[in-house]
Structure formats: structure tokens, C-alpha cells
């Protein structure tokens, strides 16, 4: 068996092969070292450098000023009278007559019923019969006349006495008569003052009785409808107490009527006084009534976290009755605010943001939202503020209003990354 051995053809050929091999290894090592020092490309750069992958083309829109409407529907409430007042007796007495029955419309101050209280009539006549003041005034006039007579006589006799015709005794007697007349007038005036004081007391008593007698007439406090009558002629009625006593009548104001609804906490922030409310009544399935939010409690009920809200309806024709079952829809509206299509807003966890196109890149921009609504079957959302990145890393961020010049991505923004290069396909309207 023959053995075969490899042997280079010559020494020079072997050296050439060795040199080529060394050069190849050196080039490979240099390439490897250069690759290790190169920075790692971002996912966006790798996607852009990958063969066959193009920079995404996106549609953008600019924020617009519009009105945003939100429908807040609440079923299962009752219509209530604007006011409901039970009327009671103020004083005890007998029902002399009643003038209105249930279902009757009444005007303010119309007499619904009259009570008969005989002892108060007698007391009033006694108060009005007082004549002490007249007697006192007559006495004053009488004594004033007597004083004038005595004064004239005294002055005349004094002049005569100076001539020596009258003696001193006659002069003294005349002077004493004059002084007695002065004292009588003073006493009469004092009697008048006492009588006047008594008269003031008598008038106060009389006015008190007259005031109580006004309560014998039960009057309507406002325009309304009698919904209950609990009295009959010659019933004895008396003021109500904590333990007993029924109202004589119940009156309700039905023009307008109102509805109280409870708004959940998440929607309570959108409800404002003056908002339009559409009311659907179970008894009128083909009709819709328009009302207005007139007031809210301005505070949530801590037990169920709801806002008590009142809606008023004019009820001009009186066809809406207290107790009717209704469904209420409040149209909450924010006017002339910045809005974006809902497709431009991305929410991840507790973060809400959009992507602005700036210098050919998608810039992630946190935003604060307001009310959501619909426009031509497309959902829109109010944008209140946007967050601006600081010029230097570590500086505080701040929020600013939209200007309307921002270019916001609306085509699948959730697939983008912050800083990713994009191209503009078109601007949506």
C-alpha cells in the first residue's frame, strides 16, 4: 500500500498564502472592533433602516373651536308641583262656609272658607265702645272756658281795685277764683293724658282682635289648584299641633311644574344652570317637553355621590300633572372650545396624550380633556390644556392652552412612539 504526503510546491507559494490569510484576519478583526463601538440604534431607526420598511405616513388635524354637547339621560322620576301648601286654621271656630272644592283653580287671596268665632265679635265691639277719651276732652273744654272767664274777671277787678273802689277782700276773693280755675284746667288736662294712654291700650287690644278675626277667612296664598278639601260646613276646627290637626285645604302651584333628578358624580361637573332639558312623559309617548335646569344643590350627596338638580317646565296648558312618570335628558353644552376628533386621543392607564407632528417627528404630548360629545356621528372631545416639554432635561414642565396651529395625528396614534419619524399623508377636516 502506497502512502501519499502533501508537500507545498515551493517555499515562495507558501509564504504568499500565509500573507493573504493574515491580511484577511486583520480586516475581519478591524470590522468587528468598529461594530462594537457603534451606538445601538433605536427601534424606530432599526425599523427605518430595515429593508422594505418605510416611514409611516399619517393624517393630521388642527384643533378647532366648536360647541361640544353631551346628553345626560336619567329615567324614573316624577313631576312635582312647583309649590305645595297645606292650609291650617289659625284660630278655633266653626266652618261657616267653604267656596272651593278639589280640582278648582283659584287666584291669590281668594277666600277658600270662612270661620265663625262669636266670642271674638263680642270682644271687638267692647273694645270699640270705649268713650273715656271723649269725656276727658269735654272736661278740658269746659274748664278752659271757666279759666278764660275767671281770668277776664280777675283782670277787670284788678284795674278797679287800683282806683280804691274795691277793698282788699274782694280782690283776694277774685284772685283765688282765678287760681282755682287754673288748677281745674290742669287737672282736666291730666285726665286727658291718662285717657289718651288708656285709649292707646284699648286700640292695641282692638287691633289684636281685628288681626285674629282676619284668620276667620282662609285665603289662597297664590294662584293654584285645590287638590284636597278636608272640611264641611259647621265643622269645628282648631289650630294644628304636633299630635293632631288636619289641614283644611291643600293647594298646589302647577304653572310651572318641576322635576328633581340625581346626576352621577362623573357627569355632575358638566351640568350648569340654564342647560336645556328634554322631558319624555310616559302618559304622552309621542310628545317631548322642553325644560330648563334652574338650580342644583352645588354639593354631592355623600351617601350616593349624586348631585340633586331641578328642572322647571312652564306647563302653560296645565297638561302635566304632579306624579306623572318621566325620563329627563339634560343637554350639557360647552360653547366655543378647542376640540379634536376622539381618534386623536390616546389613553393608557391614567395617562392621556396625543401626538403632535413637529420637525418630521411624532411628539408625544400629554393633554387635559374636557367634555366629550358627538358631531355628525363622529365623537369629538374638548381639549383644555397641553403639556410642553422643558427646554432642558430636569426642568419643570408646564401646561398651556392650545393655539389651533398644532398638527395632531389622527390615524392610529396608538401605534406611534415618541420621536418616531413620520411623513404627512394629508390633513383631515
pLDDT tens profile 365-406: 999 999 998 877 789 999 999 998 766 666 778 899 999 999
Please give the grid coordinates belonging to residue 224.
Answer: 293654584
* Higher pLDDT pick, 258 / 243: 258
| For residue 69, pLDDT beyond 50 | yes
Residue 414 contacts by C-beta under 8 Å, 6 or more apart in sequence?
346
The structural domains of the chain, with segments of one domain joined by +, span 57-62+345-427, 75-81+255-333, 118-215
Residue 125 phi, psi (nearest 5): -65, -35
**% of the chain at pLDDT higher than 70:** 64
**pLDDT at 160 exceeding the cut of 70:** no
Predicted local distance difference test score (pLDDT) of residue 292: 95
User: Quick one: pLDDT at residue 235?
Assistant: 93
Q: What is the pLDDT of residue 119?
A: 75
Upper half-sphere CA count for residue 359 (Cβ side, 13 Å): 3
Taking the C-alpha atoms of residue 255 and residue 280, their distance in angstroms, rounded to an integer, is 18
- Select the more confidently predicted residue: 364 or 117: 364
Please name which of 400, 416, 403 lies closest in space to residue 357, comparing C-alpha atoms: 416
For the cut 60, the answer to whether the pLDDT of residue 33 exceeds it is: no
pLDDT confidence of residue 13? 42
pLDDT at 240 (0 to 100)? 79
The matching CATH number, chosen from 2.40.420, 3.90.550, 2.60.60, 3.30.70, for 57-62+345-427 is: 2.40.420
Statement: residue 168 has pLDDT above 80? no
Angle at 115 between CA 112 and CA 121, to 5 degrees: 135
| For range 59-75, the mean pLDDT | 93
The answer to pTM > 0.85 is no
User: Considering the chain, what is the average pLDDT of its residues?
Assistant: 79
Rounded Cα distance, 79 and 72, in Å: 18
Q: Is the pLDDT reported for residue 27 higher than 60?
A: no
How would CATH label the architecture of 75-81+255-333?
A: Beta Barrel (2.40)
132-162 vs 168-214: helix crossing angle, rounded to 10: 160
Given a cut of 60, whether residue 36 has pLDDT beyond it is no
Q: Mean per-residue pLDDT for 194-212?
A: 70
pLDDT number for residue 389? 75
Residue 358, CA distances (Å) to 165, 170, 364, 422 in order: 135, 130, 10, 9
Q: What is the pLDDT of residue 1?
A: 39
What's the average model confidence in pLDDT over 64-93?
92
Whether residue 193 is predicted with pLDDT greater than 60 in this model: the reply is yes
pLDDT score at 35:
45
Pairing status of strand 351-358 against strand 346-348: antiparallel
**CA-CA distance, 268 to 370, in Å (whole number)?**
13
Is residue 94 within 8 A of residue 235, CB to CB? The reply is yes
Give the three-class secondary structure for 228.
strand
Compute CA 14 distance to the chain's CA centroid, rounded to the nearest angstrom: 102
Amino acid at each position: 500500500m502506497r502512502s501519499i504526503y502533501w508537500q507545498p510546491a515551493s517555499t515562495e507559494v507558501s509564504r504568499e498564502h500565509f500573507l493573504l490569510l493574515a491580511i484577511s484576519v486583520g480586516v475581519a478583526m478591524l470590522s468587528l472592533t468598529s461594530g462594537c463601538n457603534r451606538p445601538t440604534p433605536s427601534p424606530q431607526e432599526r425599523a427605518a433602516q430595515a429593508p422594505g420598511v418605510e416611514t409611516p405616513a399619517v393624517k393630521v388635524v388642527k384643533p378647532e373651536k366648536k360647541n361640544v354637547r353631551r346628553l345626560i339621560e336619567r329615567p324614573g322620576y316624577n313631576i312635582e308641583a312647583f309649590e305645595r301648601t297645606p292650609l291650617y286654621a289659625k284660630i278655633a271656630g266653626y266652618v261657616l262656609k267653604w267656596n272651593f272644592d278639589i280640582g278648582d283653580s283659584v287666584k291669590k287671596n281668594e277666600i277658600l272658607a270662612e270661620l265663625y268665632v262669636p266670642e271674638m265679635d263680642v270682644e271687638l265691639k267692647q273694645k270699640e265702645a270705649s268713650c273715656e277719651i271723649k269725656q276727658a276732652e269735654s272736661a278740658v273744654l269746659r274748664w278752659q272756658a271757666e279759666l278764660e272767664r275767671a281770668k277776664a274777671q280777675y283782670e277787670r277787678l284788678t284795674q278797679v281795685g287800683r282806683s280804691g273802689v274795691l277793698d282788699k277782700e274782694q280782690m283776694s276773693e277774685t284772685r283765688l277764683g282765678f287760681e282755682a280755675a287754673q288748677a281745674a284746667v290742669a287737672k282736666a288736662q291730666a285726665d286727658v293724658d291718662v285717657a289718651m294712654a288708656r285709649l292707646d291700650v284699648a286700640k292695641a287690644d282692638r287691633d289684636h282682635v281685628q288681626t285674629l278675626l282676619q284668620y276667620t277667612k282662609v285665603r289662597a296664598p297664590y294662584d293654584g289648584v285645590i287638590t284636597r278639601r278636608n272640611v264641611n260646613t259647621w265643622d269645628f276646627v282648631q289650630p294644628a299641633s304636633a299630635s293632631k290637626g288636619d289641614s283644611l285645604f291643600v293647594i298646589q302651584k302647577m304653572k310651572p311644574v318641576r322635576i328633581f333628578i340625581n346626576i352621577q358624580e362623573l357627569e355632575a361637573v358638566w351640568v350648569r344652570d340654564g342647560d336645556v332639558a328634554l322631558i319624555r312623559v310616559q302618559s304622552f309617548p309621542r310628545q317631548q317637553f322642553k325644560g330648563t335646569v334652574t338650580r342644583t344643590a352645588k354639593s354631592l350627596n355623600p351617601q350616593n355621590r349624586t348631585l340633586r338638580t331641578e328642572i322647571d317646565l312652564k306647563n302653560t296648558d296645565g297638561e302635566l300633572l304632579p306624579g306623572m312618570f318621566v325620563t329627563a335628558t339634560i343637554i350639557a353644552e360647552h360653547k366655543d372650545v378647542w376640540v379634536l376628533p376622539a381618534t386623536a386621543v390616546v389613553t393608557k392607564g391614567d395617562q392621556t396624550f396625543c401626538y403632535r407632528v413637529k420637525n418630521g417627528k411624532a411628539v408625544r404630548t400629554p393633554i387635559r380633556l374636557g367634555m366629550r360629545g358627538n358631531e355628525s356621528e363622529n365623537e369629538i372631545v374638548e381639549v383644555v390644556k397641553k403639556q410642553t416639554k422643558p427646554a432642558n432635561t430636569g426642568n419643570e414642565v408646564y401646561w398651556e392652552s392650545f393655539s389651533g396651529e398644532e398638527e395632531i395625528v389622527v390615524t392610529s396614534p396608538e401605534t406611534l412612539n415618541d420621536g418616531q419619524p413620520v411623513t404627512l399623508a394629508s390633513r383631515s377636516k
